[in-house]
Structure 1
Amino acid sequence: MAGPSAVVLLPDVWTSQEEGEFRVWLAESFRPDGHDWWVLRDPRPLGLPEHLQTGPMLIEVGRHEADDAGEAAGLARAAGSVPGSEIVLAAAVNGTDDHRLLAEIAVAIARRYGGLIGLDGPLPVPTGSATAREIIRSLRGRWHEIPYRTAGGDVAVYHVVDAGLLSSWLRHPHFRMVK
C-alpha cells in the first residue's frame, strides 16, 4: 500500500554538485536502494529513535514545475519567488513510522536547505474534528493555501508550510501526513 508524500520546495535550481552533496548528506541516515529509492539505515543523525520500522522512501531531486499559472502565483506569494528545485518524498508504506519519517526528513531538508514543504493536499485531519484551517491556525509556524486546477477542471488547494509548522504538527495528537 502506498504511503504519504510531500515535496520540499527550494528557492534555487540545484547544480549537479549540489545534488551530489545532498546525496552524501542523505547517506548519513539512508542507504540507496535503487534509482532514487532509499531505506533508513541510521535514524540517529535525524534525531529519531532507533526502533523505527519503515519501508523504502522515494527521495527524488528535480527542477520544480508548477502545473498552472494560479499555482505558480500562489507559490511565488508563499516563497517570495517560484521555487527552482524540489525534492519529492514518497513513502512506499503507509505505517505510522513512515508518516513520522517522511515529516522528519522533510523538516530536516527544509531547515538545511532553506525550503518550504508542500503537503500535496490540505492538512489531513480526522473526520468529525476541527477543519484543516482551524487546526493549522493553532500550530506554530507559517502556512499558505495554494490553489491549483485538477485534471477535471475543479479548483482544489494544498498547504505549503515551513519547517516550524510541520514540526509543530508532528507533536499534534492527530498527526498524519497527506496520503
Structure 2
Amino acid sequence: MDDQIPGADDDYSGFPRPPAHGIVLLAGSSGPPNHRALGHLALTLARRLGALIDFDGMLFEGPSPFPGTLREVSYDTGDGERSVRQVGDAEFLAAWLGHPGFRLVK
C-alpha cells in the first residue's frame, strides 16, 4: 500500500469519497498484452474493494466517451506547480478494457 495516496492536496472533489490508501500495480514490461493483463487485475481489485483507479496520467483529453466516471484530479508536482491525472471507477475501466484502443499510461 502507498500511504502517500491520496496526497494531502489532491483534489478528489469529483468523487463521492476520496481514497484512504492506494495499492500500486506495475508491469515489468510494456505492450498491449501487459497493459490488458494489468487492466484486468486493476478491475478485479477495484470491484472487490470498491476502489477508484488512478491512471497516473492522462488517457485522453476531453470528456470520456465511455460509461462510468473518469475525472481529472489535480495534484502538487513537488516543485510548486500543479498537474492533473485521470482517475476512474470500475464501470469506466470495464468499458475502456472492452475498447480495441485500450492502453494504460506509460
Higher strand share: 1
CA apart distance, 1:151: 3.4
Decide whether aligned partners of structure 1 residues 171 and 65 sit closer, same or farther in structure 2, where only a CA change above 3 A counts: closer
Structure 1: which 5+ runs fail to align?
Answer: 1-60, 126-131
Instruction: Assess if the C-alpha contact under 8 Å between 1:64 and 1:84 holds in 2.
Output: no
- Is 1:88 matched with 2:24? yes
CA apart distance, 1:173: 2.6
The percentage of aligned residue pairs carrying the same residue is 35
TM-score under structure 2 normalisation?
0.86
Counterpart of 2:80, as a letter, is G
CA apart distance, 1:64: 4.6
Secondary structure in structure 1 of the residue aligned to 2:24: strand
Counterpart of 1:164, as a letter, is E
CA apart distance, 1:118: 0.5
CA apart distance, 1:150: 1.7
Instruction: Assess if the C-alpha contact under 8 Å between 2:70 and 2:89 holds in 1.
Output: yes
Structure 2: which 5+ runs fail to align?
Answer: none
TM-score under structure 1 normalisation?
0.53
Higher helix share: 1
Q: Distance in 1 between matches of 2:39 and 2:99?
A: 13
Partner of 2:94: 167
- Is 1:142 matched with 2:78? no
Decide whether aligned partners of structure 1 residues 84 and 64 sit closer, same or farther in structure 2, where only a CA change above 3 A counts: farther
